[in-house]
């Protein structure tokens, strides 16, 4: 009996020691990974040791991040944790809600004090520097505002809409605010946002395009004028990667292809590369399949129609614009697309040099507040 009691006490300790040793061996034997496909991000690499870094505490901090990112079977542990959380009724992970009908919805985080005012100053400065340019601002609400019925009951609502109202009020008087909230809300029963990604779908972008046409006095192309083609049914987006929630159905990505094809040239200016298509179909073989639109994000892209009509549009944007821009092709002879996260030249000077008549500022509200590069407008 004494031997049995002793075994009962020592066996759990031995099993724990074996498990810890096994994990340590796997961690030592496993090669470091540079990129996580499931999280869609670069992983922290082994920091370089120095006495200065050790004394300042940066080495210890960076080493902890390295161990966390390179931990053996990291993806498995993340999935196991979120599965456990779901069983316990938890519906939020890393700033992402698990909503109804399999929707992952990013939590809206209000901007820091003074952030909106600083960005509005940059917008006003750019407006003053380009007096002859017709300007439109489309700050897109996210699924957290439009699909509130999908959110968990405890999720805070109404905050995002209030900040959208502040943006509208603080814009220069000659910049027309394109309010797409009513158009998106009217289509909320349709798949206008991806379930596993923070972007709107091509259908959602089209609903916003119709609203922009009203504001710009353009004759819109309705859905009947497109061949709608689903190019993948296996898209797991940014929120799937960020949240760690698993066992969800993937999204499909649709392209709205005009029935009447028009030739155009797409030039990726910084890279010196050209294409005859807005769509990079090879991206569908990768994790970030949303990059099929405009081949992802670039500092400056120039799209020129084979039948130029003299109308030039500048789009200053985040990635929401990537699936939106194809709808504008039939209305402008040239579209220049600038992403301020990568574009470093004087944008006001560029407008004057190129003789651009119209500009669209297109961001989703989260990026507008999170991304400091908007200050580069100034």
Q: What DSSP string describes 96-159? A: EEE-GGG-EEEPP-PPPTTHHHHHHHHHHHHHHH-TT-EEEEEEE--HHHHTGGGS-TTS--SH
What is the reported pLDDT for 375? 94
Please check the confidence at residue 115 and state whether its pLDDT lies above 70: yes
Same domain, yes or no, for 311 and 191?
yes
Using one digit for the tens of pLDDT, what is the confidence trace for 55-110? Answer: 777 777 776 776 565 655 566 655 666 666 666 667 899 899 999 999 999 999 99
What sign for the dihedral angle of Cα 82, 84, 86, 90? negative
- Cα–Cα distance measured from residue 284 to residue 293, given in angstroms and rounded to the nearest whole number: 10
Same domain, yes or no, for 68 and 205?
no
Same domain, yes or no, for 95 and 115?
no
Can you give the residue range of the structural domain that contains 10? 2-101
Same domain, yes or no, for 119 and 16?
no
Number of domain units in the chain: 2
Same domain, yes or no, for 219 and 352?
yes
Same domain, yes or no, for 341 and 278?
yes
Same domain, yes or no, for 88 and 125?
no
Of 81, 101, 121, the residue that ends a domain is 101
Of 83, 101, 119, the residue that ends a domain is 101
Give the mean model confidence (pLDDT) for residues 12-25: 65
20 pLDDT band, cuts 50/70/90, is low
Same domain, yes or no, for 58 and 116?
no
What rounded mean pLDDT belongs to the chain?
Answer: 88
Same domain, yes or no, for 77 and 126?
no
Most confident of 66-80, 173-187, 305-319: 173-187
Same domain, yes or no, for 202 and 292?
yes
Same domain, yes or no, for 225 and 354?
yes
pTM: 0.82
Of 78, 101, 124, the residue that ends a domain is 101
39 pLDDT band, cuts 50/70/90, is very low
């Amino acid at each position: 009996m004494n031997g049995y009691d002793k075994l009962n006490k020592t066996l759990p300790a031995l099993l724990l020691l074996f498990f810890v040793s096994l994990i340590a061996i796997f961690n030592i034997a496993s090669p470091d990974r540079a990129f996580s496909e499931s999280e869609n991000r670069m992983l922290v690499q082994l920091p370089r040791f120095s006495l200065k870094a050790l004394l300042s505490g940066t080495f210890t901090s960076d080493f902890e991040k390295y161990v966390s990112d390179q931990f053996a079977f990291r993806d498995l542990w993340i999935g196991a944790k979120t599965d456990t959380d779901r069983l316990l009724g938890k519906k939020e992970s890393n700033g992402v809600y698990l909503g109804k009908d399999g929707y992952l919805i990013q939590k809206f985080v209000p901007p820091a004090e003074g952030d909106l005012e600083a960005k509005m100053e940059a917008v006003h400065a750019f407006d003053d520097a380009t007096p002859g340019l017709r300007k439109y601002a489309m700050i897109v609400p996210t699924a957290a505002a439009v699909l509130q019925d999908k959110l968990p009951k405890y999720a805070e609502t109404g905050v995002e809409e209030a900040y959208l109202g502040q943006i509208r009020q603080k814009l220069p008087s000659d910049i027309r605010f394109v309010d797409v909230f009513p158009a998106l809300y009217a289509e909320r029963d349709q798949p206008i946002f991806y379930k596993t990604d923070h972007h709107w779908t091509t259908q959602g972008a089209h609903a916003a395009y119709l609203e922009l046409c009203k504001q710009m006095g353009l004759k819109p192309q309705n859905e009947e004028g497109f061949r709608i083609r689903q190019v993948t049914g296996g898209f797991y987006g940014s929120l799937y990667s960020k949240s760690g929630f698993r066992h969800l159905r993937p999204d499909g990505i649709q392209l709205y292809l005009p029935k009447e094809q028009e030739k155009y040239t797409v030039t990726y200016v910084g890279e010196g590369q050209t294409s005859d298509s807005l769509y990079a179909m090879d991206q569908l073989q990768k994790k970030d399949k949303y990059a099929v639109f405009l081949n992802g994000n670039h500092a400056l892209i120039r799209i020129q129609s084979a039948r130029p009509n003299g109308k030039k549009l500048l789009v200053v944007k985040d990635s929401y614009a990537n699936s939106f821009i194809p709808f504008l092709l039939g209305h402008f002879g040239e579209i220049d697309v600038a992403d301020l996260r990568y574009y470093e030249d004087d944008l006001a000077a560029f407008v004057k040099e190129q003789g651009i008549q119209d500009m669209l500022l297109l961001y989703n509200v989260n990026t507008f507040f999170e991304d400091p590069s908007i200050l580069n407008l100034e």
